[in-house]
Amino acid sequence: MKQTSKLAFYLDRMASRSIAARQVLRGTGLSVEQLNDENLRVQPEQYRRVILNMMDLTKDPFIGIALGAEFKISNLGILGYAALSAANLEQSRELFNKYRALNENIFASTNYIRDGRWFSEIRDTFMLGDVIRFAVEEFVSRTIELASPLTNRPFPILELHVTYPRPADIRPYVRRFNCVLHFNQPRNIVVFDINRLRDPISLANEEVFKLCDQQCQLLVSRHTNLLCDRIRNHVLNNPGEFPTLDEMAKRLNLGSRTLRRRLVKENVTYQQILDDIRKTLAIQYLQGTSLTPKEIGYTLGYSSVSNFRRAFRSWTGKKLSDFRELDNAE
């Protein structure tokens, strides 16, 4: 099993709680044996099922905070060593952005600086619905856990804005985050102290950093050596956008005919890639959110719900209602 696998981390932490791997993997279609395959690509809906299983098995409403606090820099593999050897937190932050593909997540985080403050927005790429709270809590808790050892200094959170309602008990938030809290917000945003970006990393080593950076590049190229994977990554990291083939070719600095020719060699068409992404997201939205079919169809680029229905039936051979009771929301 890959040491840098997010799934491997989850299984290890559940094992420490005497919870068997087969229980954590229930309903995912995955087996423990499959996890030894380096080419295995765990899908977002499988991660979501694992998270739901962990929430159910532990009966801990704040399991996201707990797992984030248990995450260590060594769990990131070579990416972790690169972060340890960076000059400061700013270089480390840029590193995580650059090699996001190595840090398996089911959401995307965007960092930006505005009005003298450092913001990190957590974008719900796959419409996680009932597990978005877990994802946010784990992300913030893990960020604290990773940053503090790098600099041997406390890493304060200034503000936390989240899209979900205020939990009945916020004491775990106060203990772990110790910051201003805003619930029921339009976006999930963490505000950090911009001065912390200049904090030097205690084990900084330029030569080691260069070596680790090169190894990270090799790993990323191995992850994204197929053009179809690069296209999938681009679409999934830009929610709501489904570029035409010509538009995608421009974004990838390729000619349209070159893009078509290379996809033929990979035995796939551009339309098949888009349909596969839409199918995956549609099922995710149906099972994990309360969005209506019309809203889901619009999100996936369909002008009418009837077109979305026809497309969904062609992908799955099933009706929308086979995946969710629609409650007359259509």
pLDDT of residue 270: 94
Residues in the chain with pLDDT < 70? Answer: 1-4, 37-39, 103-106, 124-128, 221-225, 237, 239, 288, 324-330
Residues ≥6 apart with Cβ < 8 Å to 22: 32
Structure tokens at 305: 């719900």
Count of structural domains, the chain: 1
Q: Exposure pattern of 213-252 as b/e (b: 16+ CB <10 Å)?
A: beebeebbeebbeebbebbbeebbeeeeeebebeebbeeb
Structure tokens at 24: 């954590």
HSE of 222 in the Cβ direction (CA atoms, 13 Å)? 11
Rounded to a whole number of angstroms, the CA Rg of the chain reads 21
Torsion-angle region of residue 146: left (phi > 0), alpha (psi -120 to 50) or beta? Answer: alpha
Residue 23 lies in a domain: no
Residue 277 lies in a domain: yes
Residue 313 lies in a domain: yes
Structure tokens at 287: 């099972």
- Which CB contacts under 8 angstroms, 24+ apart, belong to 258-264? 259/227, 262/227, 263/227, 263/228
Q: What CATH number corresponds to the domain at position 229?
A: 1.10.10.60
Phi and psi angles of residue 253, each rounded to the nearest 5 degrees, phi first = 60, 45
pLDDT of residue 122: 83
Q: What is the 3-state secondary structure (H, E, C) of 169-185?
A: CCHHHHHHCCCEEECCC
pLDDT of residue 165: 93
Q: What gap in Å lies between CA 5 and CA 32, rounded to an integer?
A: 13
Residue 268 lies in a domain: yes
Decide if 81 contacts 212 (C-beta within 8 A): yes
Q: Exposure pattern of 92-101 as b/e (b: 16+ CB <10 Å)?
A: bbebbeebbb
pLDDT of residue 39: 62
pLDDT of residue 126: 66
Residues ≥6 apart with Cβ < 8 Å to 34: 40
pTM, two decimals, is 0.71
Structure tokens at 257: 């005919």
Residue 121 lies in a domain: no
Q: Which domain holds residue 294?
A: 224-322
Amino acid at the residue 22:
R
Residue 306 lies in a domain: yes
HSE of 275 in the Cβ direction (CA atoms, 13 Å)? 12
Residue 244 lies in a domain: yes
Residue 152 lies in a domain: no
Residues ≥6 apart with Cβ < 8 Å to 295: none
pLDDT of residue 182: 97
